Amino acid sequence: MNRLYYLFVFFFISGWTVAQEEQESDTTQINIVYGANFTKDEEQFPGAFIFSKDERQVQFEHQGADLWCDIAIHYQKENRLRALGNVRLQQGDSVELVSGTIDYDGETKLAKAYEEVVLTNKTMTITTDTLYFDREKQESYYQDSGTVVDSVNTLTSEIGRYFLEIKKAQFLDSVHIDNPDFTLDSEQLDYYTNSKNAYMYGPSTIIGETYKMYCERGFYDTNVESGYGIKNTRIDYNNRIIEGDSVYFEKASEFASATNNIKVTDTINKGVIKAHYAEVYKAKDSVFATKRAVSISLVEQDSLYMHGDTLMVTGKPEYRILRAFRNAKFYKTDLSGKCDSIHSEQRTGVTKLIKNPVIWNGENQMTGDSIHLISDLKTEKLDSLKVLNNAFVISQDTIGKVGYNQAKGKDLFGKFIDNELKYIDLIKNTEVIYYMYDELDLIGINKTICSKINITLANNDIEDLTFITEPDGDIFPEKDLPENSRKLKGFVWRGDERILTKDDIFDEDDNNIELVVIRGVNNPIDIDLEEEDRSLNESDPVNNIQPGNSGETDKKSKFPGKKPKISKTSQPLKPKATPKMERVE
C-alpha cells in the first residue's frame, strides 16, 4: 500500500477511536479490544467496519463476554457483529462457545453460532450445527439436531434448550440418552446436568441390563438407575411385567412398587395379580400385593380367582408359593371357597385352605378343619380333594326344597375327572341324611350310619350313594322323622356366604377403597422446585424421604406435571414458563 492509503487509514481509525470513546458511557455498545487489520467494503458490507487478524485474532468485548475471531464485520450503528473463522465467545470463566461463524446482536445480547458449534460449561458440552445463545436470559437452544455430553450421559435430540443458571436442559423430538448401563428414548425430556435427573413426557422407554421401563410421564435418576412413571407405566422385570397408575423401581435394591390399578403378570406361569398396591423383590423373586388384591390363573381353560387382604408370591417359577392372608376367598366356574388363609405350592400342586374353610362344588357345601385341593403336576388340572377332620358335605334338597342332604365323617377324599368332581369317599364314623325321590315324589328320608360311604356325582349333584361296612339305618317317611332329627350333629349351613361370581370374592371394604391421589397426573408440578427439594434432601440424609410410594400424596412426589411446550418454528426457540401446581396434602 502507498503512503496516502496508510495516512487515510490512520485518520479514519483515529476518528473511529474518538467515536468509540464518546460512546464508552453507553454500556450496550460492542467494544473493540484489538482490531489488527482494518478495511471497509461499502458495496458488500455497507456501513460496516471490517477487521482481520494479524499475529493475533481480532477481539471484542461486550458486557462481561469476550469474542475472538479471524475476521469481524462490525456494524457500529446497529450495534451488531458478524465474526468469522475460529470464533470463540468466552463468558466469565465457565461458558465458552466456539464455532465457524457467530452473528451477535449487542442490543438483545443474542448470539447465533453455526458451523461446527460447541458450547461448554463446567458440567456439560453441547455440539450442533446451529446454536442460539441468549446471554440476556442465559439460555442456549438448537432446532436442527444436537448432542449434549456430561460426565455420565450422552444426550441427543432434534430440538433442545439449555438453561445455564439452573443447569437444566429441555429436549424435544427423538430424544435419546446413551449410558454404559442403559439407553433412554423419549418424545420430550427435561434433564438436570448437576443431578443427572431426567423428567420424561410422552412415550418413553428405558432399557437396562435387567429391566425395561415404559411410561408416558415419569422420572429417572440416571446416576443410580432408579425412577418411576405416573402415566401408562410398565416395567419388564425379570420374568414379571408390572403395570399401574404409578410404578417405581430401583436397580440397586432390585425392588419395584406400584400404586393404583396394578397388574403384575408372571410371564412364565401365565398368572396375573391385580391390586391397588404391590411390591416386587426381584432378587427374592417375590411379590407382595394388597388393597383389593386378586391372583388370576388358568385352570383347564377356566380362570381361577384367589383373593385375600394380602397376597404374597415367593420362589422361582417352578417353586412358586402363593399365600392369601386374612379373609381369603377363591372362585372358578364350578368351584369356590373361603377360609382364613390359603397356601398354594407350585412344586407339589397342593392348595391348602387353612382355618374355618368351606368350599362349594355346584350345590354341595363342604367343610372341615382343613381342606386340600391337589392338581396334576403334568396337566395342571384339578386331580383330587382332601377334607381332613370333621368332614361335612351338605346340599339343599333341590326337588322338594324341604331340607338338606348331608354326609359326614372324619375325612373326605374326592376325585376330579376332566376338572369336575366325580367321586367322594367319606371314611370313619360316617353318617348320612338323604332325601329320596321317585321322580318328583318324596319316598322318604334315608338316615344311615356306617364306616365308609362312596358318593358318585353327575353335574355336581349326588347321583349314587354306596354304604360300606355294616351300615345301620333306615328310610323314614317324612312324617315319622322329627325336624330336630333331620340334621346331623355339627350341621352349619353357610349358603348365604356362597361365592357365585368372581366379584363375590371382594367384600364391601374392598369395593369401597379410596385410591390415593397421584400427584402430577391431572395437575402440573413445578419440577424446578422438585429438583431443588431433591438437592436439599440429598444434602440432608437424616430427613431424606425416599420415593418408595410411587408418587403418592402422603410423601414427596418427584413427578413433573403438564409438559412445557417447545415449538419447532423458524424463530428462535423460546420456552414457556414451567407450570406450577398446588400441592395436594
Classify residue 227: in a domain, yes or no. Answer: no
- Asked whether residue 7 is assigned to any structural domain, the reply reads yes
Residue 572 confidence class, pLDDT cut points 50, 70, 90: very low
Check pLDDT > 70 for residue 61.
Answer: yes
pLDDT at 174: 92
- 386 CB contacts (<8 Å, ≥6 apart)? 371, 372, 374, 411, 412, 413, 414
Answer whether 143's CB lies under 8 Å from 128's CB: no
From the DSSP assignment, how many helices (H) and strands (E) are in the chain? Answer: 3, 40
- Report yes or no on 477 lying in a domain: yes
- Cα 531 to Cα 162: distance, rounded to the nearest angstrom: 16
Q: For the beta carbon of residue 475, count every other beta carbon within 10 angstroms.
A: 14
C-alpha 173/C-alpha 158 separation (Å) is 5
Residues 396 and 404: beta-carbon distance below 8 Å: yes
Question: What's the pTM?
Answer: 0.77
User: Alpha-carbon distance 61 to 29, whole Å?
Assistant: 9
**Per-residue pLDDT band at 525 (split at 50, 70, 90):** low
Question: In this structure, is residue 272 part of a structural domain?
Answer: no
| Distances in whole angstroms, Cα of residue 60 to Cα of each of 111, 228, 483 | 14, 48, 112
Task: Give dist(CA 322, CA 325) in Å, integer.
Answer: 10
pLDDT at 532 over 80: no
Domain presence at residue 316: no
Residue 163 pairs with which residues in a beta bridge?
A: 139, 168
- The last residue of one of the domains, among 85, 120, 155, is 120
Q: Position 573: which residue type?
A: L
203/215 Cα distance (integer angstroms): 6
* Model pLDDT, residue 464: 83
Q: How many domains does the chain have?
A: 2
The cell for 435 is 332325601
In the predicted model, is pLDDT for residue 67 greater than 90?
Answer: yes
What is the residue range of 471's domain?
A: 333-509
Question: Does residue 528 lie within any of the structural domains?
Answer: no
User: 548 pLDDT exceeds 70?
Assistant: no
Half-sphere exposure of 540 (CA within 13 A, CB side): 9
Name the one residue in this structure whose C-alpha cell is 432378587: 283
Contact 452, 468 (CB under 8 A): yes
What CATH number does residue 84 fall under? 2.60.450.10
Residue 233 maps to a domain: no
Final residue belonging to a domain, choices 469, 490, 509: 509
456 falls within a domain: yes
The vertex-565 CA angle with 564 and 566, nearest 5°, equals 125
Band (pLDDT 50/70/90 cuts) for residue 77 is very high
Of the residues 509, 530, 559, the one at which a domain ends: 509
